[in-house]
Structure 1
Amino acid sequence: MKRLIRRMTHLRHSDDQISARVRAVLVESLYASPRSLIIGALTSSAIAAVVAAASGDEWLIGCAVLIGLVGAVRIVDALRMRGSATVRQQERGYRIGALTYAGLLGVFGLLTLTRTDSGVLDLLSVTTAIGYAAGIAGRNAGRPLIALSQLCFASLPLVFGLLLPLDPLKALLAAVILLFVLAMSDITQQTYAVILRATTASEEMAALAEHHAGMARRDDLTGMANRTAFREHFEERLRNLTASGEHLALLWLDLDRFKEVNDFFGHLAGNALLVAVARRLEQVLGDRGIVARLGGDEFAILCGVADARAAGCIGSAMLEAVRQPVGFNGHDLRTTASIGIAIAPDNGRDADTLLKNADLALYRAKEKGRGRFFFYEPLMDEKIERRRQIALAMDGALERNEFELVYQPIFDLAKGRITSCETLLRWNSPQFGSISPAEFIPIAEDNTLIVMIGDWVLRQACRTAAHWPADVTIAVNLSPVQLRAPDLTHAVLAALSASGLPPERLTLEVTESVLLDDVDRSLAALSALNRIHVCTTLDDFGTGYSSLSYLTQFPFQTLKIDRSFVIDLEHNPASVAIVQTIVDLAAKLGMRTVAEGVETPAQLDQLRRTRCDAVQGFLLARPMSAPEVIGLFAEQAAFRSNPGQPALPGAD
């Protein structure tokens, strides 16, 4: 008996160490076979009723009634499985019913042994209680304390009843029952150990699978939902979208020029920026919806809104949160975001349509200058779809030799000859035909192909100019993405070295708007170019916001007067005054001036009067191929040898 008590005490302590998940499975096993419980309750109650009726004893009859009632309660409990109760409530309810029933069977056996003289009735009662105890030892092995308690409650009263008469044979039977209890306790504990190992292993595998499933739905870097989890949540929200008046807003957010952060500060900085942005987006949204990282620098936000205005407020708050700098190793990482917004059910009722429409709105936001959000509009489809198709067609266009360069001569007004040529990029797509640079270059900048294309342009232009007269320079336009690339100087030196062109004969042009984004990086890049003796030109001068301050900060050798001023020279005195001011200012700062877009003799004459240094435009020469430029040089040599010819093409 002491051994049995020690085992039960040990079981109680070890039972407290199992996990809640394993406990739940073991408790569930108590209800795993309601049929056996029902059969046991019905047969035991029936035998008790027969024995009580045959004996006519009031105590036995009363006990038999209780056995029947408790059995009925247990049957009901087994059928409903206490689905709404907690695990501990289920276990407690089962324990109370099981121990009560086992105790009643034991007491019924004791009463039969002590209040009747019929050996048959004694046999029925004892075998019923022992049979029930044997079945319980196997059925409830998953909860051994319950099983062993039932075993004791059903068997030990029989032992007491058999020992009371002091009959040797009955005492022998009592000893057999005690040995049976000890043996069944061993069997129960061994069975429990096997069940526990199997259940623990199964739960560990299930927990591992659940962990992997959770990881498969989490972004490794930010810890937020990934594309898979977002898609599942999105489709579930769409299914539950009712006619209650609520709308579902999808905001597709993309960081502007994120690649430049990686290129300039490194991938660790880029990762830090992504994590910080993710936290800020989650803080802005709160518990109103879900934020997911779709990959790279793309995020998606889904939340219920009352109307488009509410979605716009969320978009504005997120743009402001992204604008705030992120500290990293002593640097302030800065970026902006563009957001496209689509609203269900107005802009679509399925996930694919809404994602496509939000993506179209995102393209519109980037096209309009970034750092803003746009709502989807049906008119976006055609224009954005063309942009998308052009982007796809551009991928591999360089390898397929679809790009070509043309050159527009720049004439020195004082010398009356070509002193430079501006390099212009052209793309003749097999799918779309000739595409304007104004259309395809912004697309190339967005998908970062412009760096590779720009390097090709630089190499080709230098190779072409190496065959020109030694006093003629070549001008190449730099994209904003190229200017901020960390290896720009290396790319320029490589192009010069491969072509043999002296650096003094290369001029790189940047527009004023390029300088607005990052003054420090732009200044560093231009200064590095000047140190290797490459000249720099400020293109489209006068169309930006801080032109005069740029002249004192940035190392330009040439100012290019925008065509918008040249066009009005014939009719607008204000344009004449502006051009004259630019020319005078450049002269005092030691810079040359080039006027672009010259199309009439009157414009050319006016530029002469302003003492502009050089001009270019259709009046003088249209963009032409490299062989045509060589031919123009030959014509220029002929002009020099014939003083009767006009000094400039198109001039009288």
Structure 2
Amino acid sequence: MARLIARLRELRHSDHRITAQVRAVLVESLYASTQSLVIGALTSTTIAAVVAWATVDAWLAAAAVAIGVVGALRIADALRAHRVDVDAEAAARHEVGYRVGALAYSGLLGLFGFLTLTRSGDGVVQLLAVTTAIGYAAGIAGRNAGRPRIALAQLCLASLPLSAGLLIGFEPLKLVLAAVIVLFVVAMIDITLQTYGALLKATLVSHENAALAAHHAAHARRDDLTGVANRTAFREQFEERLRMLPGSGSKLALYWLDLDRFKEINDTFGHLAGNALLAAVAGRLRTHFDHESVVARLGGDEFAILSPVGDRQEAATIGAAILALVRRPVAHDGHSLRTSASIGVALAPENGREADTLLKNADLALYRAKESGRGQLYFYEPVMDEKIERRRQLDYELHGALERGEFHLLFQPIFDLAASRVLSCEVLLRWTNRHHGVVSPVEFIPIAEDNGTIDAIGHWVLYQACEVARDWPADISIAVNLSPIQLRATHLPAVVLDALNASGMPPERLNLEVTETVLLEDVETSLAALEALNRLRVRTTLDDFGTGYSSLSYLTRFPFQTLKIDRSFVTDLERSPASIAIVQTVVDLGAQLGMRTIAEGVETQAQLDQLRRTRCDAVQGYLLARPMPAAMVSAMLAGKGSEATG
């Protein structure tokens, strides 16, 4: 008994410790079985009416009418509550309403039993009244255990008046029955509390599991690194916005953006720096756009943004703001990380009404933006499809092209003008694709630079070139072009050293060519890379000299051994005195700085004669020798045509 009293005291405090959501579930359990409430109310009302009719007692008749009225009200309340969801806010109101009806009904049943025992001597009538109240009380223990204070009050109101009615007559058998009812009430209190404990535990576990499932569901739709929506959540919200679009009266802009040169930042500063850049860009975008927009990271350095817009001009304004946000530097570990974004934009509904169509069109616009240079935004236009679809196909085909053996090398001899012999050979990369056939380097090299495959391709070219040149005469060097991405990679010296070690070729026979525009994009990084190559005793050439932002200041800073005069000046030698003057100036400048000069693109005898007059050191071009396979180069160097034909 002491344990039961302690549990009743604990009940007074436990209800305040549960959350509003759990309380709402427990309140909802009161209305879980509308059918049983209806049957109970109809049965009790019918029995009360029968007893009142049999006894012809006004008090019992009034009590029976009250039981019927309250029962009907409770049925109406149960049916109304069953049609609506009981949320945390409404739970308190529902509980008050249920408590009033339940206690009134229980009290009336107890009162009816008491009146029957005290105002009628008919044993059958008394049995009907007592069994009705006791049966009702027994059902309460299980049915309303979710709110035990209501259940216990109902139990006492329905049962204890019966004990009082039995005690009034002081008849031995009735006294025994009164005691049995009291013990019944105590037992039902214990059962109610146990049922409540089990129900509360199950509800808490269910609620915790639901909360955990909701957490996992939210986590599964959030990008771990940046905290913005991931591809799954983006797709769901995208399709939802498209369904709502017809009635909104506005347009929906899809921005698909890539971070420019992100791979270079990863390679130069490490993955932690790359992650910091991604997180910073995502944070800026999330802060800039309100809840009506969606910011998502689709993977890697790809982001997507959905934003409602009024027209194309507003979409362009938003796009310009995105470009500005991405361009802002990010401080990390003492470095200032800088990037830009290429953005493709598709507008719904004019560029499509389905998610897949809009994503495809935004992707095509993104390719156009990349093709036009970094930091650009392009809207989708139908004319983009054919050209950009080819670029996209080539992008896909470049992945795996090395493994499929689709690349091969050609070699174009470079001739020493004074000695009229082969001085070196420039390596030229060629790609024959399984679907597209021969693809020009002018077309596929920029794509390889954008999608990151240029690094692996460049390594392969370097290794193959050193392997081929190893068997050439010791005074013949090999010239290999470096892409901007290769030059900026911190591991370039190690790659070059590995290629030399693998082939056994002396480093002095390797000449690496870079274009002057690359140098001006990141002067310090380029200078450090060239100095590291020179420490390996590898020679370096400034390619396409005169086509970029030629400056005497950087010629004195960068450690080049050779200047290569661009073919555009060579082409005009026959008809342009200005080109003659430029070539002569470059040759003289190279001589004064201790650099050799090479003229490329020599196609006529007149051009060759003019270059001899300028005292250019070396030449290459179709007049002298076309690009050829390694076997033909070996035959030439073996003595079968190693002299210049001009």
TM-score when normalising by structure 1:
0.92
Conserved 8 A contact 2:262-2:339: yes
> 1:552 Cα deviation (Å)?
3.2
The residue aligned with 2:308 is 304
The residue aligned with 2:135 is 131
Conserved 8 A contact 2:636-2:642: no
Q: Take 1:626 and 1:148, find their aligned partners in 2: how far apart are those partners? A: 98
Q: Take 1:112 and 1:333, find their aligned partners in 2: how far apart are those partners? A: 90
> 1:274 Cα deviation (Å)?
1.8
The residue aligned with 1:152 is 156
The residue aligned with 1:566 is 570
Q: Take 2:94 and 2:590, find their aligned partners in 1: how far apart are those partners? A: 90
Q: Give the 3 Å change call, closer, same or farther, for CA 324–119 of structure 1 in structure 2.
A: same
> 1:227 Cα deviation (Å)?
1.4
Q: Give the 3 Å change call, closer, same or farther, for CA 549–49 of structure 1 in structure 2.
A: farther
> 1:471 Cα deviation (Å)?
2.6
The residue aligned with 1:78 is 78
Instruction: Tell whether 2:639 aligns with 1:649.
Output: no
Q: Take 1:525 and 1:96, find their aligned partners in 2: how far apart are those partners? A: 85
The residue aligned with 1:644 is none
> 1:489 Cα deviation (Å)?
0.8
> 1:203 Cα deviation (Å)?
3.3
The residue aligned with 1:543 is 547
Q: Take 1:428 and 1:351, find their aligned partners in 2: how far apart are those partners? A: 35
> 1:247 Cα deviation (Å)?
1.5
Q: Give the 3 Å change call, closer, same or farther, for CA 111–529 of structure 1 in structure 2.
A: same
Conserved 8 A contact 1:541-1:547: no
Conserved 8 A contact 2:41-2:72: yes
The residue aligned with 1:625 is 629
Q: Take 2:33 and 2:232, find their aligned partners in 1: how far apart are those partners? A: 39
2:363 counterpart (355, 359, 364)? 359
Q: Take 2:29 and 2:488, find their aligned partners in 1: how far apart are those partners? A: 67
Instruction: Tell whether 2:65 aligns with 1:65.
Output: yes
1:209-228 CA deviation, whole Å, 9 max, x = no partner? Answer: 33333322222222322111
The residue aligned with 1:36 is 36
> 1:526 Cα deviation (Å)?
0.9
Equivalence map 1:351-500=2 (5 Å): 351-500=355-504
> 1:288 Cα deviation (Å)?
2.5
SS at match of 1:559: strand
The residue aligned with 1:101 is 105
The residue aligned with 2:560 is 556
1:131-150 CA deviation, whole Å, 9 max, x = no partner? Answer: 21111112112222221111
- How many percent identity over aligned positions? 69
Conserved 8 A contact 1:289-1:301: yes
The residue aligned with 1:140 is 144
Q: Take 1:215 and 1:448, find their aligned partners in 2: how far apart are those partners? A: 30
1:196-251 CA deviation, whole Å, 9 max, x = no partner? Answer: 33333333333333333332222222232211121111122222221543122221
SS at match of 1:434: strand
Equivalence map 1:305-344=2 (5 Å): 305-344=309-348
The residue aligned with 1:207 is 211
Q: Take 2:586 and 2:96, find their aligned partners in 1: how far apart are those partners? A: 93
SS at match of 2:286: helix
Q: Which runs of 5+ in 1 are unaligned?
A: 640-647
Q: Take 2:328 and 2:629, find their aligned partners in 1: how far apart are those partners? A: 48
The residue aligned with 1:289 is 293
> 1:6 Cα deviation (Å)?
4.6
Q: Give the 3 Å change call, closer, same or farther, for CA 400–170 of structure 1 in structure 2.
A: closer
The residue aligned with 2:179 is 175
Equivalence map 1:198-237=2 (5 Å): 198-237=202-241
Conserved 8 A contact 1:261-1:333: yes
1:127-171 CA deviation, whole Å, 9 max, x = no partner? Answer: 222221111112112222221111112222333333344444443
The residue aligned with 2:242 is 238
Conserved 8 A contact 2:421-2:642: no
2:525 counterpart (515, 521, 524)? 521
Q: Take 2:4 and 2:45, find their aligned partners in 1: how far apart are those partners? A: 29
TM-score when normalising by structure 2:
0.93
> 1:261 Cα deviation (Å)?
2.4
1:469-525 CA deviation, whole Å, 9 max, x = no partner? Answer: 333222110011211222211111122223232212211011122224322222111
Residue 629 of structure 1 aligns with an amino acid whose one-letter code is V
Q: Take 1:541 and 1:55, find their aligned partners in 2: how far apart are those partners? A: 121
Conserved 8 A contact 2:540-2:562: yes
Conserved 8 A contact 2:231-2:299: yes
The residue aligned with 1:642 is none
Conserved 8 A contact 2:231-2:298: yes
Q: Give the 3 Å change call, closer, same or farther, for CA 40–495 of structure 1 in structure 2.
A: same
The residue aligned with 2:47 is 47
Residue 44 of structure 2 aligns with an amino acid whose one-letter code is S
The residue aligned with 2:22 is 22
Q: Which runs of 5+ in 2 are unaligned?
A: none
1:601 counterpart (597, 605, 621)? 605
1:15-74 CA deviation, whole Å, 9 max, x = no partner? Answer: 333344433332222111100001111122223333344555544444333322221121
Count of residues in Structure 1 that have an aligned counterpart in Structure 2 = 642
Residue 540 of structure 1 aligns with an amino acid whose one-letter code is D
The residue aligned with 1:645 is none
Q: Take 1:626 and 1:134, find their aligned partners in 2: how far apart are those partners? A: 99
1:273 counterpart (277, 280, 291)? 277
SS at match of 1:507: strand
SS at match of 2:343: strand
Conserved 8 A contact 1:463-1:499: yes
Conserved 8 A contact 2:534-2:559: yes
Q: Take 2:234 and 2:191, find their aligned partners in 1: how far apart are those partners? A: 51
Q: Take 1:599 and 1:371, find their aligned partners in 2: how far apart are those partners? A: 38
> 1:75 Cα deviation (Å)?
0.7
SS at match of 2:245: coil
Q: Take 1:303 and 1:638, find their aligned partners in 2: how far apart are those partners? A: 65
Q: Give the 3 Å change call, closer, same or farther, for CA 637–163 of structure 1 in structure 2.
A: closer
> 1:114 Cα deviation (Å)?
4.1
Q: Take 1:209 and 1:483, find their aligned partners in 2: how far apart are those partners? A: 49
Conserved 8 A contact 1:285-1:314: no
> 1:179 Cα deviation (Å)?
1.0
SS at match of 1:160: helix
SS at match of 2:232: helix
The residue aligned with 1:12 is 12
Q: Take 2:141 and 2:240, find their aligned partners in 1: how far apart are those partners? A: 46
2:200 counterpart (196, 201, 225)? 196
Conserved 8 A contact 1:478-1:509: yes
The residue aligned with 1:263 is 267
Residue 204 of structure 1 aligns with an amino acid whose one-letter code is E
Conserved 8 A contact 1:506-1:534: yes
Residue 321 of structure 2 aligns with an amino acid whose one-letter code is A
SS at match of 1:590: coil
